[in-house]
Structure 1
Amino acid sequence: MAYELFYWPTIQGRGEFVRLALEEAGAGYVDVARERGGMDRLMKLLKEGAHPSFAPPFLKAGALTIGQTANILLFLGQHHGLAPLDEANGLWTHQLQLTIADLVAEVHDSHHPVSTSRYYEDQKPEAKRRAASFVKERIPKYLGYFERVLGKREWLVGERLTYADLSLFQVVEGLRYAFPRAMGTMAKDYPGLANLRDRVAARPRIAAYLESPRRLPFSEEGIFRHYPELDRS
């Protein structure tokens, strides 16, 4: 089927985790809000239906409307060979994705620690304190965990790529954009993650996507933002 992805039209954000899975799967999809009249459809669907989403992203798959990034990826993984079929490893993949979601939330809070409705410039002192802790304590904790889970293997779960690998690729890319100094000094500590990032980037469908206009650039409007004053190694 041709899927409809609903997410904000100008940023990668959480929608990018879904886009990467759709691209790797070779699934047909429409990025609805980037089409004419798409934002009107997005806003309408947030308020209507039996199972409205709290916020984008959400995915329409036939009669289904699926919200929450990890939930969408759980669905796509099961239907497009991006997750193990056995229950234990399927749950393990989902667990890893939920941990990635926790990390993404902390990335966001590193530049908006007080309120999402206030500009970054209105909370810079608090952001500097939050980002300092994030860089020194939280990035190593999360990346050390994923490095340990990966071990000597190529992929996080079993012998095949899963949606969790695609999401971890996006996290590494985003952290390199947002905190280049900090990530530069820590890269030697996480060789497995660096190799995983390169393997994902080299996959034919992902490589083509990254070079296409469908891949939106990182910016200071998304989750991963580069503010030099927050990037301390």
Structure 2
Amino acid sequence: MPEPQPDTNNDPPYELIYWHVIPGRGEHIRLCFVEAGVPYSDTAFIEGGMDTLHTYISEQNLGDKVNPPPLAPPILKHGDLVISQTPNILLYLGPRLGLAAGQGNDIYKVNALALTALDGFSNEVHNCHHPIAIDLYYEEQKEECLRRVKDWVKHRLPKYLGYFERVLSGTASGEGPWLYGGVLTWADLVFFQTLDGTSYMFRKAVAAAKQSGKYNRVFQHYEAVKARPRIAEYLATEKRQKYSNYGVYRYYEELDVVADE
């Protein structure tokens, strides 16, 4: 199996601007750097890093001649380039870090898979604990949260798991265990991270899905990514920040339900 071949010739340093304490959406970008073995700086672990982050998202920041101001992290600075939005950053980094399946239109197929994982296992999951309004605390919408979660684990979780099971069963995935082209891409890392977070948040529902035997390829894929040498080493370090009740993936015991409840 070919290893990623990062393009690092005469490259300026990669700088990730993201929150400290939570893995959040910045984790997808970290995993790409880790898997590719490419150095990067990370404001989450740099003294004064949060000051840097707040400067970028300040209402006083108007950007510059070529870079509009970002709305929110994650933000990537690479030389004179400043871009934001997780899928946008991944689309930029994937080919550069050797995490794209091939050439030409392959990157858009990989991107579609990554976007689907982010839709189902990140955006929808996040909205399970904030179904009414982002600016309201969870405690202010608990009743609505439980109603949404019960519906999500019954209908949406099997929908997305079933989709990725079909992808991994299809010929376009290659000989496996990867999602596309028979090689590991940034979509595989995104799918791993989103499923990992979802498994933290909805432990009973994901465990039931695994035990059902309907999604064996999905969970084999998860273990295959987790076993990658650089990923495994990273997951065992403090740089792999723990989930908490401040990020995308939050554990509330009262929301840890299975579809039949």
Kindly provide the CA deviation profile for residues 4-23 of structure 1, in whole angstroms up to 9, marking residues without a partner as x.
Answer: 10111110111111111111
Residue of structure 1 in register with 2:49 after alignment: 38
Write 1 or 2 for the structure with the bigger share of helix.
1
Kindly provide the CA deviation profile for residues 176-208 of structure 1, in whole angstroms up to 9, marking residues without a partner as x.
Answer: 111111111111221111111111111111011
The counterpart of 1:204, out of the listed 214, 219, 229, is: 229
Query: 84-93 vs 206-215, which deviates more?
Result: 84-93
SS of residue paired to 1:147: helix
Asked if 1:174 corresponds to 2:192, the answer is: no
Kindly provide the CA deviation profile for residues 146-200 of structure 1, in whole angstroms up to 9, marking residues without a partner as x.
Answer: 1101117310011110000011111121111111111111112211111111111
Asked if 1:71 corresponds to 2:88, the answer is: yes
The counterpart of 2:127, out of the listed 109, 112, 121, is: 109
Asked if 1:146 corresponds to 2:164, the answer is: yes
CA distance in 1, matches of 2:101, 2:68: 27
CA distance in 2, matches of 1:85, 1:193: 23
Query: 96-105 vs 195-204, which deviates more?
Result: 96-105
Asked if 1:119 corresponds to 2:130, the answer is: no
Residue of structure 2 in register with 1:213 after alignment: 238
CA distance in 2, matches of 1:88, 1:226: 38
SS of residue paired to 2:41: strand
- Say if 2:118 and 2:190, in contact at 8 Å, map to a contact too: no
Alignment of 1:22-61 (within 5 A): 22-46=33-57, 47-49=61-63, 50-61=67-78
Segments of 5+ residues of structure 2 without an aligned counterpart are 1-11, 171-175
Asked if 1:17 corresponds to 2:42, the answer is: no
Residue of structure 2 in register with 1:222 after alignment: 247
Give the TM-score taking structure 2 as reference length. 0.86
Query: 75-84 vs 38-47, which deviates more?
Result: 38-47
| Identical-residue share of aligned pairs (%) | 46
- Say if 2:16 and 2:74, in contact at 8 Å, map to a contact too: yes
Question: Match for 2:136: what amino acid?
Answer: R
Question: Match for 1:168: what amino acid?
Answer: F
SS of residue paired to 1:158: coil
Give the TM-score taking structure 1 as reference length. 0.96
Pairwise CA RMSD of aligned residues?
A: 1.2
The counterpart of 2:214, out of the listed 178, 186, 189, is: 189
Query: 32-41 vs 179-188, which deviates more?
Result: 32-41
CA distance in 2, matches of 1:52, 1:143: 36
CA distance in 1, matches of 2:32, 2:18: 15
Query: 84-93 vs 194-203, which deviates more?
Result: 84-93
CA distance in 2, matches of 1:202, 1:34: 25
SS of residue paired to 1:189: coil
SS of residue paired to 1:21: helix
Query: 66-75 vs 45-54, which deviates more?
Result: 45-54
Residue of structure 2 in register with 1:8 after alignment: 19
CA distance in 2, matches of 1:51, 1:33: 23
CA distance in 1, matches of 2:136, 2:27: 24
Q: How many residues align?
A: 233
CA distance in 2, matches of 1:66, 1:26: 21
Which segments of structure 1 move beyond 3 Å, counting only runs of 4 or more? none
Kindly provide the CA deviation profile for residues 43-81 of structure 1, in whole angstroms up to 9, marking residues without a partner as x.
Answer: 112234232222100111111112111111111111011
